[in-house]
Amino acid sequence: MKIGIGEFLMSNTDNEKSNLRRNFPFRLNVFFFIVFVLFSILIIKLAILQFVEGPTLSENGNKKGTRNVLTAPIRGNIFDSTGKPITYSTSTQSLYFSISPNFKKK
């Protein structure tokens, strides 16, 4: 039995189509597995960053974001309407605040 060229080409393309149909689920599964592994790595890295390195990174950020600057606590003198000084400013590095029992928040 002889096979013509047209029959040979049709049978060849049918074989390729059936091979593609067989390989498609396998390729799809491999793709989903790779995506799953990449997302798992990402989630693990984020968890390590948040829970293991988080306190250290937060402390380093606070050190960079704030700094202590000494300023002179000079407020200036207060004068009455005639120009006579009522109070004088004295330099001190302490600030005190006491709450009296009659203090009410508004």
Give the residue, 25 or 72, on which the prediction is more confident. Answer: 25
**How far is CA 70 from each of CA 67, 73, 92, 93, 94, rounded to the nearest angstrom?**
10, 9, 12, 9, 12
Q: Which of 17-21, 59-63, 90-94 has the highest mean pLDDT?
A: 59-63
Tokens of 28: 């799809």
Tokens of 72: 């002179």
Contacts for 85 with CB less than 8 Å, ≥ 6 apart: 77, 78, 79
Residue 72: predicted pLDDT:
67
> What span, in angstroms and rounded, lies between the C-alpha atoms of 4 and 8?
6
105 pLDDT more than 60: yes
**pTM of structure:** 0.43
Instruction: Identify the bridge partners of residue 87 per DSSP, sorted by sequence position.
Output: 78
